Structures are given as structure tokens and as C-alpha cells.
Amino acid sequence: MKINTYIDHTILKATATVDDIKQLCKEAKEHHFYAVCVNGYYVALAESELMQTDIKIAAVVGFPLGATSSYIKVEEAKHCIDQGAHEIDMVLNVGLLKSGGYQKIIEEDIRAVKKAIGNNVLKVIFENCYLTTEEKKIACKLSLNAGADFIKTSTGFGTGGATLEDVQLMINEVHGSVKIKASGGIRDLNTAKQYIDLGVSRIGTSSGIQIVNPT
């Protein structure tokens, strides 16, 4: 297992500086991480820093609440792709899901972003810490129906991050038709391995260095 090839090396905090983004990209090159994950404004910078490498750039959309309109999410996603992103991590409309009765709108929201980015990878972030078991199952179904490539546990900005129980539930619901990204609170090699052994295809973390170089 090459743990580095599972990692989306991430910095999404509000205080991230230009130098922080450059450092993130430098570390991604040094450790051959699969991707970096950044806020939309920094996609162009990451693209310039990662030129002539095969490291992917993931950009977050509707982050971290998922409460922007489909139109805004689509335009944000398109702009990120135009700037050099290869993957979009969009936040599902959590409040709408919890309202009940809006499943068609949520599915159309996801589908619209996927259509806008074409063959580029779409990951749908659930923010599982706010969802009931039934809501998590519904989110899996809607993402699968809408053509998402990945479903993702968390933004890292909620009250909780990834759990093994949530990932197992997600795996059970999609039956291999959609890949899983675990993110939020994964900070060491042992934890990362547990998720990979369970079946996730990607780990979102700001602790990539600590994971690949445990002390």
C-alpha cells in the first residue's frame, strides 16, 4: 500500500496564505500525494506551482455549508475547472436534506454540477456529523443517481469528521458504484490505514506529512 497515493493534501482554513498554498504544493511534490485540495481562489496558484507534475488539483464548491444555489455552485465549479482544477468537492445542501421532501432538488443540484464539469471528478460532501442514519442513506442514493464519482464524509469544519461506522454505511449503500473519500480528523498513519482497509479510495487531510512520515 502506497499511502501517499490516497492522500488529498488539504488546506482550506480561512487564514491560509499564498505562502501556505505554495508550501502545500511543495509538500505534495516531495511526497507524491495524489492531489492537493484548496479553496477556489487558489486553484490558479496551485496550477502554476504543480505544472509538469501529475498531481491533481481539487477545489471545493459551496463550501463549507452547501447552502448556495445550484447556479452559484455550477458557476463556481466551472470557474475552478477553467483555472486548472481536475476535481470538484461540492457540499450537499445539508439544510435542505434535513428539511425533508426536497430530494429531487438536491439530486438536481448535484447533477447540475456534474454536468458542468463533464469528465472531471465530482465528490459530494455529506457532513455526516449533522445527519441521521436515514439522511446519510438518502444522500448516498441521491449522489449515486446524480452521477457523482465520489461521496465524502465531511468538510472538516463541522462538529465531527470521518468515522469508520459512517464509511461502512456509505460503502454498504453504494455497492461499489461510487468511490468513497474519508475526511475530517484523519491525522495519523494507523487511522488512515483503517479507512483504506475498509475500502476508501481517497483520504482528505491536512496532516499528510504526519501520515506518511510517522514518528
Catalytic machinery residues:
89, 152, 181
User: How many other C-beta atoms are found inside a 10 Å radius of the C-beta of residue 133?
Assistant: 11
Pick from 32, 77, 73, 39: which is nearest to 56 by CA?
A: 32
What single-letter amino acid sits at 145?
N
C-beta of residue 155 within 8 angstroms of C-beta of residue 138 = no
C-beta of residue 123 within 8 angstroms of C-beta of residue 91 = no
Which residues contact residue 206 at a Cβ distance below 8 angstroms, ignoring those fewer than 6 apart?
9, 10, 11, 12, 13, 156
Helices 70-83, 103-117: axis angle to 10 degrees equals: 20
